[in-house]
């Protein structure tokens, strides 16, 4: 009884349904633990803040990075330019999701007849995962238009997006492939035993399950892509968020625009990260609940 | 009576491991053959070979008089005529029960969706699963899942059903409902080959029992004779072990 009183239902580490403190599920804290958590947070964050604010360089840093007037001028401009990042992200993502699945399926094709295709897909993923994204953007952005081929666009934006698609398709295809390989062969046996062809088994049985299983890592790659759209700024003529921030920064000789851009990124990426965590936790609960297939 | 399955000299190895060492077996139409033998004796491999899920190394197999191991045979067409049910059910977890039963009807047999649905509804009703039609497999008990798997195989109107230890993964209390479903199939005249550890069931439902020992078909005969007067010493030892384990 006394135990019940001091440790109400839901106390971490006491109630068997609630994991002990230290695990990811310990967000609901009992009275005493909550007090300790608040106190320790106040002390730790307070000390850190004090150290920073009282450091000798702080006044000049505050002026160079957190200038209110510059922020007010920069923020709307950067936000407007950031729409280009969102555009690049959305266009690239559509192509990536489709092409990466094609590459992953090609790499999963069995039999000697498909060897050249498997080889091509493997070389492609190796190359584009092995080269820094910024380098691919440079090579395509400066190289491809210089070929002067007819019908090939010479826009930096176009080639920037192509570079992102090529790099991220390589990453995402590996994610898909891991998902495809995680599907137990008995699922394919079951599908083939019903007279479904190899392609039908892949399409109706393996791929849908694989895609569901890799949604969290896919979202992670979304976040990476979202951030890497800023690299296209290096092609010069594409005035997206980062380029716009650089322009404002150069006018004021002040770094506040970069802080403004960082905030915009955080507003987008932090919720996405939470969604990933939530998805992973849900998937884990589902599996632990006994979805044994 | 005509032959549903005819197997001659079937050999199958996995690497250095010779799992089937020359199997000869015939199964008549409407006959139920119980396949018994220790784990690893080759029962599952034999069934998988009949369904062409494993390529055979040597030997020939005929289904309803047509050789399915011949060159140029479309294995997908063969598999549509053979239903197989696995120990681990192998339902498609991302599809509802209904979709599990209609998918191959539509994609492999080109039945139109209404026809497939009607067929599935009929089978699910027959196995007492209609109210589960819109559930996903992980909401079902093992016995229910296995009955869905049987319905899924039957939906293809197979000439032959192969059952691979379909009750081995089930809680004892769930075994009976699956065995009842199989009994009903036998009564309806379905040709079946049943690999099983349930000796009482095999004696009950099979017209003939075949004992597989280390990849060879050691002996076969009527259930009464096989279980009470086995000819081979190995069969006797196997049955003694089964009795000791309380499975008979």
Q: Across the interface, do B53 and A192 touch by the CB < 8 Å criterion?
A: yes
Confidence of residue B169 (pLDDT cuts 50, 70, 90): confident
**How far is Cα A190 from Cα A210, in angstroms, rounded to an integer?**
16
Confidence of residue A10 (pLDDT cuts 50, 70, 90): very low
Q: What are phi and psi of B215, to 5 degrees?
A: 85, 5
Residue A46 in domain: no
Confidence of residue A14 (pLDDT cuts 50, 70, 90): very low
Pick from A189, A190, A212: which is nearest to B94 by CB? A212
For the entire predicted model, the pTM comes to 0.80
Interface test with B, best of A189, A194, A202, A289 (most B CBs within 10 A): A194
Confidence of residue A18 (pLDDT cuts 50, 70, 90): very low
Confidence of residue A21 (pLDDT cuts 50, 70, 90): very low
Residue A9 in domain: no
Q: Across the interface, do A186 and B88 touch by the CB < 8 Å criterion?
A: yes
Q: Across the interface, do B103 and A196 touch by the CB < 8 Å criterion?
A: yes
Tell whether B176 is within 8 A of chain A (Cβ).
no
Residue B212 has a pLDDT of: 93
Question: Which residue on chain B is closest to A204 by alpha carbon?
Answer: B103
Pick from B89, B107, B137: which is nearest to A204 by CB? B107
Please enumerate, as own/partner, the contacts of B100-104 that have beta carbons within 8 Å and a separation of 24 or more.
B100/B137, B100/B148, B100/B152, B101/B148, B101/B151, B101/B152, B101/B155, B102/B155, B103/A194, B103/A196, B103/A204, B104/A191, B104/A194, B104/A195, B104/A196, B104/B80, B104/B152, B104/B155, B104/B156
Given a contact cutoff of 8 angstroms between Cβ atoms, the answer to whether B62 and B5 are in contact is yes
Q: Across the interface, do B89 and A204 touch by the CB < 8 Å criterion?
A: no
Residue A11 has a pLDDT of: 45
Question: Which residue on chain B is closest to A207 by alpha carbon?
Answer: B94
Asked whether the predicted pLDDT for residue A17 surpasses 60, the reply is no
Residue A61 in domain: no
Average pLDDT, chain A: 84
Asked whether the predicted pLDDT for residue A195 surpasses 70, the reply is yes
- Domain boundaries along the sequence of chain B: 3-244
Pick from A187, A189, A200: which is nearest to B107 by CB? A200
Confidence of residue A238 (pLDDT cuts 50, 70, 90): confident
Query: Of the given ranges (A18-27, A257-266, B60-69), which has the lowest mean pLDDT?
Result: A18-27
Asked whether the predicted pLDDT for residue A6 surpasses 50, the reply is no
Q: Across the interface, do A293 and B76 touch by the CB < 8 Å criterion?
A: no
Domain that holds residue A130: 74-288
Residue A58 has a pLDDT of: 84
Residue A148 has a pLDDT of: 73
Q: Across the interface, do B94 and A209 touch by the CB < 8 Å criterion?
A: yes
What DSSP designation does B4 have?
Answer: E
Determine the distance in angstroms separating the CA of A60 from the nearest CA of chain B, rounded to an integer: 59
Residue A16 in domain: no
Q: Across the interface, do A190 and B93 touch by the CB < 8 Å criterion?
A: no
Query: Of the given ranges (A13-22, B94-103, B229-238), which has the lowest mean pLDDT?
Result: A13-22
Structural domain count of chain A: 1
Q: Across the interface, do B94 and A208 touch by the CB < 8 Å criterion?
A: yes
Residue A133 has a pLDDT of: 93
Interface test with A, best of B107, B123, B140, B166 (most A CBs within 10 A): B107
Half-sphere exposure of A148 (CA within 13 A, CB side): 0
Residue A167 in domain: yes
Determine the distance in angstroms separating the CA of B165 from the nearest CA of chain A, rounded to an integer: 15
Question: Which residue on chain A is closest to B49 by alpha carbon?
Answer: A193
Q: Across the interface, do A205 and B90 touch by the CB < 8 Å criterion?
A: no
Asked whether the predicted pLDDT for residue B227 surpasses 60, the reply is yes
Residue A29 in domain: no
pLDDT in tens, A32-70: 888 999 999 999 999 999 988 888 888 888 888 888 888
Residue A220 in domain: yes
Asked whether the predicted pLDDT for residue B246 surpasses 80, the reply is no
**How far is Cα A224 from Cα A133, in angstroms, rounded to an integer?**
11
Residue A17 in domain: no
Give domain B3-244's CATH number out of 3.40.50.300, 3.20.20.80, 3.30.465.10, 3.10.450.50. Answer: 3.40.50.300
Domain at A219, CATH number: 1.10.3720.10
Determine the distance in angstroms separating the CA of B51 from the nearest CA of chain A, rounded to an integer: 7
Residue B114 has a pLDDT of: 96
Place of tokens 């992953």: A104
Determine the distance in angstroms separating the CA of B185 from the nearest CA of chain A, rounded to an integer: 18
**Mean pLDDT, to the nearest integer, of B69-97?**
93
Q: Across the interface, do B90 and A187 touch by the CB < 8 Å criterion?
A: yes
Residue A287 has a pLDDT of: 66
CB contacts, 8 Å: B102 with chain A: none
């Amino acid at each position: 009884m006394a135990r019940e009183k001091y440790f109400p239902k839901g106390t971490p580490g006491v109630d068997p349904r609630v994991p002990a403190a230290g695990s990811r599920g310990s967000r609901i804290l009992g009275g005493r633990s909550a007090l300790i958590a608040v106190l320790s947070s106040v002390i730790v964050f307070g000390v850190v803040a004090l150290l920073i604010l009282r450091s000798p360089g702080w006044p000049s840093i505050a002026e160079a990075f957190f200038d209110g007037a510059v922020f007010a001028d920069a923020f709307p401009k950067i936000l407007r330019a950031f729409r280009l990042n969102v555009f690049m992200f959305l266009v690239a993502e559509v192509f990536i999701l489709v092409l990466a699945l094609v590459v992953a399926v090609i790499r999963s094709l069995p039999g000697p007849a498909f060897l050249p295709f498997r080889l091509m897909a493997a070389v492609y993923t190796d190359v584009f995962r092995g080269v820094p994204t910024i380098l691919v953007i440079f090579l395509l952005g400066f190289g491809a238009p210089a070929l002067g081929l007819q019908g090939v666009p010479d826009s930096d934006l176009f080639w920037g997006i192509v570079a992102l698609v090529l790099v991220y398709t390589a990453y995402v295809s590996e994610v898909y492939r891991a998902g495809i390989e995680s599907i137990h062969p008995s699922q394919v046996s079951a599908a083939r035993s019903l007279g479904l062809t190899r392609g039908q088994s892949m399409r109706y049985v393996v791929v849908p399950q694989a895609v569901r299983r890799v949604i969290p890592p896919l979202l992670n790659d979304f976040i990476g892509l979202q951030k890497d759209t800023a690299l296209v700024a290096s092609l010069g003529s594409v005035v997206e968020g980062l380029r716009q921030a650089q322009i404002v920064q150069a006018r004021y000789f002040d770094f506040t625009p970069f802080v403004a851009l960082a905030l915009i990124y955080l507003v987008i990426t932090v919720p996405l990260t939470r969604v990933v965590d939530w998805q992973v936790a849900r998937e884990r609960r589902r599996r632990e609940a006994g979805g044994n297939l | 009576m005509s032959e549903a399955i005819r197997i001659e000299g079937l050999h199958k190895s996995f690497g250095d491991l010779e799992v089937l060492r020359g199997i000869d077996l015939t199964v008549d139409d409407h006959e139920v053959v119980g396949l018994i033998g220790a784990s690893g004796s080759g029962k599952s491999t034999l069934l998988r070979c009949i369904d062409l899920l494993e390529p055979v190394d040597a030997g020939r197999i005929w289904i309803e008089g047509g050789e399915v191991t011949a060159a140029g045979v479309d294995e997908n067409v063969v598999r549509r005529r053979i239903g197989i049910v696995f120990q681990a059910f192998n339902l498609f977890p991302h599809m509802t029960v209904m979709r599990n039963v209609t998918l191959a009807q539509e994609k492999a047999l080109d039945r139109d969706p209404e026809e497939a649905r009607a067929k599935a509804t009929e089978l699910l009703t027959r196995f007492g699963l209609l109210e589960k039609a819109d559930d996903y497999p992980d909401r079902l008990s093992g016995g229910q899942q296995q009955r869905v798997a049987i319905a899924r195989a039957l939906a293809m109107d197979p000439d032959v059903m192969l059952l691979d230890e379909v009750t081995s993964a089930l809680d004892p209390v769930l075994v009976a409902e699956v065995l009842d479903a199989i009994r009903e199939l036998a009564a309806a005249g379905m040709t079946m080959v049943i690999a099983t550890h349930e000796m009482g069931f095999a004696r009950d439902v099979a017209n003939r029992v075949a004992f597989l020992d280390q990849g060879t078909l050691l002996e076969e005969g009527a259930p009464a004779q096989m279980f009470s007067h086995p000819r081979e010493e190995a069969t006797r030892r196997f049955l003694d072990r089964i009795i000791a384990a309380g499975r008979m």
